Amino acid sequence: MVLLLPSPPPPSNSLLPRSSPHNLLQNPTKPSPLPIPKGPNEHRRALLLLASSSLLHLVLPTFDSLLPSSSIARAQEIYELEEDERRVVRIFQDTSPSVVFIKDLQIKPNTRSVSLDFSEDDPVDAKVEGTGSGFLWDKYGHIVTNYHVIAKLATDQAGLHRCKVYLQDSSGSSYPKEGKLIGFDPAFDLAVLKVDVEKNKLRPALIGSSRDLRVGQSCFAIGNPYGYQRTLTTGVVSGLGRQIPSPNGSSIQGAIQTDAAINSGNSGGPLVDSYGHVIGVNTATFTRKGTGISSGVNFAIPVDIVVRTIPYLIVYGTSVRNRF
């Protein structure tokens, strides 16, 4: 605040009487000095003005000090919360176009030689045997998912199973394509599908590393639980180096434990870090016996295992030991 104080007193020679010849000769153009207050009322008014101005100047607080410290802390907390929310939104927006929704369809025996219509609606001659998630590995249409998501397709001897994959276009809308099984490895619960889509329409996921993960760091699971496409759940890395069972009866070493919710339909989807990089493949959850409710103890296959396994499956298909 700027206070307008009275002007400083004029030089001493200006206090000479206005009619003084000396004053007129020495300062012929000098303006007249301010009038000196006359009478007790004018003196009192001038003193009050000076006293009030000085008092305001000394005690006027800053704007921040007018606010309680708790209000300032709350405003800072809200700002930081908004920053965190914007970060999570950005992670989802950048990653979700790489996530796909997978349906395992079983067709009737008398229609197995007929080409199915993979339009938006499921074929009337097919029923959904299971659903899951996956993510785009490259621009050639390869998709990573869990083996147990497509196990019936992998072990189908009668040719009655088909795989329907929903992808996301540039506008955010889903469109279906048939997924062809390229290879699988039950030992690590991994499989590769392939869709026939133009390269410029595909957005592969960003692959990170699980080598330097730390317990407590944030992570995010994206998938299609119970058929609800592209669902985001958040949590932290709860543990490292866990051992979980694999579909072939052996065990997967080094699994990532997280409290980010992983439910039926999340399997095969990506677990990503705060930069949107895939650090694991969501694969399993412990449920309370007889309830079907997640206990909050969920697991993902480390992406370092995925990086070693998927290129082999793409090039060579299913390994000899896993062929049926």
Task: List active site positions.
Answer: 148, 189, 267
Q: Within a 13 Å sphere around the CA of 213, how many CA atoms are in the beta-carbon half?
A: 32
CA angle 10, 15, 20 (to 5 degrees): 135
User: In the chain, helix, strand, coil percent, each to 5?
Assistant: 30, 30, 40
The helix/strand/coil state of 247 is: coil
Spell out the alpha helix ranges (H) of the chain. Answer: 21-26, 39-59, 63-66, 69-95, 151-154, 303-316
Q: What does each C-alpha distance from 19 to 23, 26, 34, 154, 212 come to in angstroms?
A: 8, 13, 15, 118, 94
C-beta neighbour count of 178 within 10 angstroms: 16
C-beta neighbour count of 60 within 10 angstroms: 9
* Measured distance CA(219)–CA(241) in Å, rounded: 16
